[in-house]
């Protein structure tokens, strides 16, 4: 059951139990876990925790939908993504929304405002995952938004604007080289040339869409117009250690850092591991190893937040007694500013070119993804900060090093983001964890932002 006395009587937890709330939630004191709130027996506190309980229950339910028995892996346009979309569409309808799957596989729910057809406050995140993922990255934002709408619906509350909730089908970009495919389609910036890219099994995106039940020639139908959106707001786990270090359950995101991703292929000469002398080899894998070491070294010596990752590598033909003739690997580079990132990418590319030349390896290097840094809108940051303060919590702004769907949605709406603390800053890993009380705090902040939302002054 989703109940919030906070929202129902419009008073807020602070005015109901100011001492309890400030004492328990204001840093530097630790946020109590759900059990301790329950033990306190404070009716309002227990009631509010139930938003978090509902979120955790649904996060677990969605995490059970995976292609990989004991691990969570849910990739774009797979049957697992389809099964997850059905579950989310069901939750949206239960929450009083009209809901459908759009032309790229995004799940879209709409909760009309006082007048039908009004522009919407759009809430969203993604429901695809990386391989062997944590269960909170993406689903937390989708589920929290649905739980908030469900709460409004149960109270029969309509707002002067509509609320739309979106679960984006591909934020992670695991299957095809491109990322943000769901939000790009919605923002009308989907690059149709990526339809011909193939996954590791050789399946083209075009065929994968058809298999999923979608028409690759109608992706344009997913696009939304700027006039339909008042703002795009996303709640997401922080995926870093900053909120935890500051003992804060939630934070206001200042900007989403840009990223560049490249695909590299080095081609040398495959040969017999026992007969070709070391000096005569053109080993693509040792060449790749030197490139990877150079990337790490370059990023480590940068003191201004540059990060570089080689997260995928494949050596061919791939046998113990064969010198690798061809190696493919990916590079992901991010920095706090676009200029810094671009300069660093150019330096790394020069180093890779030099290594390939010296080792007589052919090099193919393609930029597969490039996203500029996206600042969050000051007027949305203010409204989020006000909601956090009204919940009796300290407000704190932090940048996002991770990418988010807002990077694409910025083309049709101002973007705001709420971060929720995660344990140990761990993400893209099965140990990713959000405490129930923090999920609850995030939901209360989001609900408050929604209920007090003021569209940007014209
Ligand atoms: C998305 O999770 C990214 O930042 O890579
Ligand atoms: Mn992620
Ligand atoms: Mn994410």
Q: What CATH number does the domain containing 167 carry?
A: 3.40.630.10
User: Is 192 part of a structural domain of the chain?
Assistant: yes
Tell me, using a 6 A CB cutoff, whether residue 134 lines ligand 1.
no
Q: State the DSSP H helix or E strand holding residue 54, giving kind and residue range, or none if neither.
A: helix 43-63
Q: In the 3-class helix/strand/coil scheme, how is 289-341 assigned residue by residue? A: HHHHHHHHHHHHCCCCCCEEECCCEEEECCCCCEECCEEEEEEEEECCCHHHH
**pLDDT for the residue 25:** 32
**Core vs surface per residue 425-435: b (16+ CB within 10 A) or e:** bbbbeeebbbb
Residues 223 and 238: their CA atoms lie apart, in Å, by 28
Is there a single domain that holds both residue 154 and residue 200?
yes
DSSP 388-401: HHHTT----EEEES
Q: Which listed ligand is nearest to 417 at the C-alpha? A: 3
Is there a single domain that holds both residue 193 and residue 171?
yes
Is there a single domain that holds both residue 378 and residue 350?
no
User: Is 279 part of a structural domain of the chain?
Assistant: yes
Domain boundary among 319, 343, 371: 371
Is there a single domain that holds both residue 191 and residue 285?
no
Interior CA angle at 41 toward 35 and 44, to 5°?
100
Cis preceding-peptide flag for 28 (omega within 30 of 0):
yes
Tell me, using a 6 A CB cutoff, whether residue 238 lines ligand 1.
no
**pLDDT for the residue 406:** 98
What token pair was written down for 122? 């759009």
* Ligand 1 atom nearest 428 alpha carbon: 2
Is there a single domain that holds both residue 134 and residue 250?
yes
Tell me, using a 6 A CB cutoff, whether residue 403 lines ligand 1.
yes
**pLDDT for the residue 4:** 30
| Average pLDDT over the chain, rounded to an integer | 90
Is there a single domain that holds both residue 283 and residue 325?
yes
pTM: 0.84
* Ligand 1 atom nearest 239 alpha carbon: 2
Which residues, 6+ apart, have CB-to-CB distance to 306 below 8 Å?
Answer: 298, 299, 333, 334, 335, 340, 341, 344
Q: Whose CA is nearest to atom 3 of ligand 1?
A: 403
Ligand 1 centre distance from Cα of residue 274 (Å):
42
Is there a single domain that holds both residue 79 and residue 188?
yes
Ligand 2 centre distance from Cα of residue 405 (Å):
10
What size, in residues, is the chain? 458
Which residues, 6+ apart, have CB-to-CB distance to 134 below 8 Å?
Answer: 72, 426, 427, 428, 429, 430, 431, 432, 433
* Residue to substitute in 76, 126, 403, 427 for testing ligand 1 pocket (most ligand atoms within 8 angstroms of CB): 403
* Residue to substitute in 310, 428, 429, 432 for testing ligand 1 pocket (most ligand atoms within 8 angstroms of CB): 428
Ligand 1 centre distance from Cα of residue 250 (Å):
19
What token pair was written down for 123? 């809430």
Ligand 2 centre distance from Cα of residue 172 (Å):
6
Q: CA–CA distance from 450 to each of 119, 123, 165, 218, 244 (Å)?
A: 14, 9, 12, 32, 25
* Ligand 1 atom nearest 401 alpha carbon: 4
Q: Which listed ligand is nearest to 141 at the C-alpha? A: 3
What token pair was written down for 446? 């989001």
**pLDDT for the residue 304:** 87
Is there a single domain that holds both residue 208 and residue 218?
yes
Residues 368 and 59: their CA atoms lie apart, in Å, by 31
Tell me how many domains the chain contains.
Answer: 2
Q: Which listed ligand is nearest to 130 at the C-alpha? A: 2
| Contact of 164 with 409, CB cutoff 8 Å | no
**pLDDT for the residue 190:** 97
**pLDDT digit string (tens) for 250-263?**
999 999 999 999 99
In 178-246, at which residue ranges do the beta strands (DSSP E only) sit? Answer: 229-237
Is there a single domain that holds both residue 99 and residue 224?
yes
User: Is 456 part of a structural domain of the chain?
Assistant: no
User: Is 202 part of a structural domain of the chain?
Assistant: yes
How close are the terminal C-alpha atoms of the chain, in Å? Answer: 39
Q: Output phi, psi for 115, to 5 deg.
A: -110, 130
Residues 418 and 151: their CA atoms lie apart, in Å, by 19
Is there a single domain that holds both residue 344 and residue 323?
yes
Torsion angle (degrees, nearest 10) of CA 435, 438, 442, 443: 70
What token pair was written down for 114? 């006082």
> Which residues in the chain land under pLDDT 70?
1-49
**pLDDT for the residue 303:** 87
Ligand 1 centre distance from Cα of residue 419 (Å):
14
Q: CA–CA distance from 219 to each of 210, 224, 454 (Å)?
A: 12, 11, 32
Tell me, using a 6 A CB cutoff, whether residue 172 lines ligand 1.
yes
Torsion angle (degrees, nearest 10) of CA 91, 137, 128, 86: -10
Q: Quote the DSSP letter at residue 402.
A: S
User: Is 196 part of a structural domain of the chain?
Assistant: yes
Tell me, using a 6 A CB cutoff, whether residue 402 lines ligand 1.
yes
Domain boundary among 333, 351, 371: 371
User: Is 70 part of a structural domain of the chain?
Assistant: yes
Q: Whose CA is nearest to atom 1 of ligand 1?
A: 403
Is there a single domain that holds both residue 352 and residue 399?
no
CATH number for the domain spanning 267: value is: 3.30.70.360
Q: Quote the DSSP letter at residue 226.
A: G
Is there a single domain that holds both residue 252 and residue 273?
no
User: Is 69 part of a structural domain of the chain?
Assistant: yes
Domain that holds residue 227: 5-257+373-451
User: Is 457 part of a structural domain of the chain?
Assistant: no
**Do the strands 250-256 and 374-375 form a parallel or antiparallel pair, or are they unpaired?**
antiparallel
Domain boundary among 315, 348, 371: 371
């Amino acid at each position: 059951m989703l109940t919030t006395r906070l929202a129902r009587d419009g008073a807020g937890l602070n005015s109901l139990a100011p001492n309890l709330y400030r004492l328990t939630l204001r840093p530097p004191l630790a946020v109590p876990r759900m059990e301790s709130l329950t033990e306190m027996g404070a009716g309002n506190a227990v009631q509010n925790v139930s938003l978090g309980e509902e979120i955790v229950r649904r996060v677990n339910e969605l995490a059970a939908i995976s292609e990989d028995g004991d691990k969570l892996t849910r990739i774009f346009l797979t049957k697992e993504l389809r099964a997850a979309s059905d579950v989310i569409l069901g939750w949206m309808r239960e929450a009083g929304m009209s809901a459908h799957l759009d032309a790229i596989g995004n799940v879209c729910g709409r909760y009309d405002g006082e007048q039908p057809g009004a522009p919407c406050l759009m809430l969203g995140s993604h429901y695809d995952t990386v391989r062997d993922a944590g269960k909170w990255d993406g689903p937390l934002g989708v589920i929290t938004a649905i739980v908030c709408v469900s709460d409004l619906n149960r109270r029969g509350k309509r707002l002067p604007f509509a609320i739309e909730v979106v679960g984006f089908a591909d934020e992670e970009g695991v299957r095809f080289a491109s990322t943000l495919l769901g939000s790009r389609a919605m923002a009308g910036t989907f690059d149709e040339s990526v339809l011909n890219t193939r996954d590791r099994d050789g399946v083209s995106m075009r065929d994968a869409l058809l298999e999923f039940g979608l028409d690759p020639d109608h992706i344009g139908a997913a696009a939304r117009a700027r006039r339909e959106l008042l703002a795009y707001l996303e709640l997401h786990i922080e995926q870093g250690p900053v909120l935890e270090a500051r003992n804060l359950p939630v934070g206001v995101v200042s900007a989403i850092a840009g990223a560049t991703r490249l695909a590299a292929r080095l081609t040398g000469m495959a040969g017999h591991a026992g007969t070709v002398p070391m000096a005569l080899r053109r080993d693509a894998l040792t060449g790749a190893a030197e490139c990877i070491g150079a990337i790490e070294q370059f990023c480590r010596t940068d003191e201004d937040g540059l990060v570089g990752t080689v997260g995928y590598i494949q050596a061919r033909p791939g046998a113990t007694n064969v010198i690798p003739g061809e190696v493919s690997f990916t590079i992901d580079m991010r920095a706090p500013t676009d200029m810094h990132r671009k300069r660093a990418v150019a330096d790394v590319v020069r180093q890779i070119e030099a290594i390939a030349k010296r080792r007589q390896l052919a090099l193919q290097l393609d930029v597969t993804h490039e996203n500029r840094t996206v600042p969050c809108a000051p007027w949305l940051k203010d409204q989020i900060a006000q909601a956090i303060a009204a919940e009796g919590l300290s407000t704190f702004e932090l940048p996002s090093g991770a990418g988010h769907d807002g990077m694409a949605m910025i083309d049709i709406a101002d973007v705001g983001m709420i971060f929720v603390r995660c344990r140990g800053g761990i993400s893209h890993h099965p140990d990713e964890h959000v405490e129930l009380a923090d999920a609850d705090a995030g939901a209360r902040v989001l609900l408050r932002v929604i209920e007090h939302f003021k569209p940007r002054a014209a």
